[in-house]
Amino acid sequence: MKNYQKSHTKYNGKFIIILTITLFTPMFLHAQADTVQTNVPALKDVYANDFTIGCLLSYRNIGFADDPPVAGQSRVITPNGGHLIKFHMNSMSPGNNMKPQYTVDINSSAAEYNAASPAERDSINTHPIVKFNGDMKAQLNWAQRQGFTFRGHTLIWHNQTPAAFFRKGYNSSATRLTKEQMIERMDNYIKEVIRLIHEGWPGLLSAMDVVNEAVNDGGDDRTNDSEWYLTFGDNSYLMKAFELTRKYTIEFNEPQIKLYYNDYNTHLPAKADGIVRICTPIFEAGYLDGIGMQDHDSNTSPTAEQWIASYNKFDPICTEMAVTELDVTTGYASPPASVLTTQANQYGQLFKCFVERSYYSGRGKIINVSKDGLNDQYTFKANQASSLWDAYNQCKPAFYAVVDVGTNYNALDSLLLSIDTLNESDYTIESWSNLVTAITLANCAMDQNYSATVSAADALNEAKETLVSAIEGLMMCTDVDVFVGNNPVSFSLEQNYPNPFNPVTHISYSIPYDGYVSLNVFDLLGEEVATIFNGFQPAGYYITQFDGSNLASGVYFYQVKMRQTIDGNENYLMATKKLNLLK
């Protein structure tokens, strides 16, 4: 188990995020075996500036006991599942309940058709009855109450779509509809789904998997096992599905819903080529926004190189991408420690691929990463220990690897950006040389691809620690030493004492010349929480007292900053140190 603390060091006017990781032994036992750990970073916070974090689950795995009831919903079977998802995530997708098998009411549609007059049947034949079941409604309600975004899954699929949906009168023994009839039925089916979403949960959905798994692993179209292909006689149903979904998201004022093609084994070269083949004309027509990569992965596949190769193929034909059903199977129901380490490395190398191509950071197009299932027990890949959490919702080594990759990669990125603002001439040759070496190591760690045997988390952490040490070791080479009386004075900030303290500590600093000085305290987010001094001071050595009575226990930073105007130009000196308030 790990304890994580974020700190911010300010260099040259910019805050740099530094992550301190401390290993410790648990000092307590969970009151309930599956109690959610909240003494760890939330994944949604670790990747807040990269992408949303989601899950693919049904309501019975995430509902709370006090949720407002919905008619027809299932009993909640995992009381702490919702707490795990709420703590770590800010997005979700339904497991099965938005698939045609669950949204198209075949029996009611057939009954209405059979009861109708011959004159009415043509219209009923192309207007299926579409509804959401209790679990689907309850899950949409739950996501809305938590402030989540929601990914719809899925409208058009060769699987879990009743054969009767493609037959006259919604009768699986009847004749197949013509292509023209099926287009009309598809039109009204998609219209009803989007209408239900808009009327019940306007603005909730951020994406919809319009088409799911239309390409075989070899890159060719699904044909004989796809009722859609057999009914249309070709793959033109793909373009039509996206065209109609775009039409109705606009008509029902849901333009924020991005339209996705979603598939598995996207790392296979031939399959990736097939996806590009069918999606390129849909993207060029203005109907497709994103590519969903399911990423049902294993401890050895895909490699980073394979994943990146497919990402690069998809990049020109979409505006965003999502990882939609991520898991990493181990081959064991109860893996030994060595296998869990391999799994951690595999998750780590995948998240390194994701974070360096994240949407909100501006580095790429990955806008959402969704984990399949809840934990090792409730998941699509049963008896494979495929999750970040075990069957009791406890964090596995893979969870910590994912956290470490995100925090350390982003810390390195922030540090390197801040270093760009520094001037080499301001520092001694030796300290700057150490910094250059650390920068090289950091760039190598960030550029390198990792594997199931080489830990991305460890390499990024080592590079970050080295870079932080080099930054903290920078020594200014300025001729600012002056004498006050018989005492030489240079610009400096000393460590507070005592430290830790409660509630009073002393801070000492020296300034080499007269000027405007500020001494402030900041929290871990870089927000100013106290001003100790702000005004003009003559050159000299100062000791001041800081009272933290009004602050909560924790790590803070204190910073002295000096401004002097010379020949009309403003010059600044600045130093920052950490203090620990322990109540």
Q: Which CATH number characterizes residue 246's domain?
A: 3.20.20.80
136, burial (CB in 10 Å: exposed 0-12, middle 13-18, buried 19+): buried
Question: Looking at the predicted structure, is the pLDDT value of residue 258 above 80?
Answer: yes
Q: What is the pLDDT of residues 115-172, one digit of tens each?
A: 999 999 999 999 999 999 999 999 999 999 999 999 999 999 999 999 999 999 999 9
In a domain, 559, yes or no: yes
Q: Judge whether 35 lies within some domain.
A: no
User: What is the amino acid identity at position 447?
Assistant: D
Residue type, 501: F
For residue 577, give every residue at least 6 positions away whose Cβ sits within 8 Å of its Cβ, in sequence order, or none. 493, 494, 495, 496, 557, 558, 559
Domain closes at, from 241, 276, 293: 293
Q: Does some domain include residue 360? A: no
499 part of a folded domain: yes
Whole-number Å distance between alpha carbons of 124 and 177: 13
Q: How many CB atoms lie within 10 A of CB 372?
A: 23
**CATH for 575:** 2.60.40.1930
**Domain count within the chain:** 2
Q: Could you tell me the residue range of the domain that residue 127 belongs to?
A: 98-131+149-293
Q: What is the pLDDT of residue 583?
A: 76
Q: Which helix (H) or strand (E) holds 230?
A: helix 227-232
Cα separation, 351 vs 388, in Å, equals 12
Instruction: Give the contacts of 508 (CB within 8 A, at least 6 positions apart).
Output: 493, 494, 541, 542, 543, 544
In this structure, is residue 563 part of a structural domain?
Answer: yes
pTM: 0.80
Residues 306-335: tens digit of each pLDDT? 999 999 999 999 999 999 999 999 999 999
Residue ending a domain, among 293, 323, 343, is: 293
Specify which residues 530 forms β-bridges with: 521
Q: Which helix (H) or strand (E) holds 482?
A: strand 482-484
Q: Long-range contacts for 223-229 (Cβ within 8 Å, ≥24 apart)?
A: 225/158, 226/158, 227/158, 227/161, 227/163, 227/165, 227/166, 228/156, 228/158, 228/161, 228/166, 229/158
Domain boundary among 268, 293, 318: 293
**Residue 190: which residues within 8 A CB-CB, separation 6 or more?**
155, 241, 244, 245, 248
Residue 32 has pLDDT above 70, yes or no: no
Q: Is 109 a member of any domain? A: yes
57-67 burial, b if ≥16 CB within 10 A, otherwise e? bbbbbbbbeeb
Tens of pLDDT along 281-292? 999 999 999 999
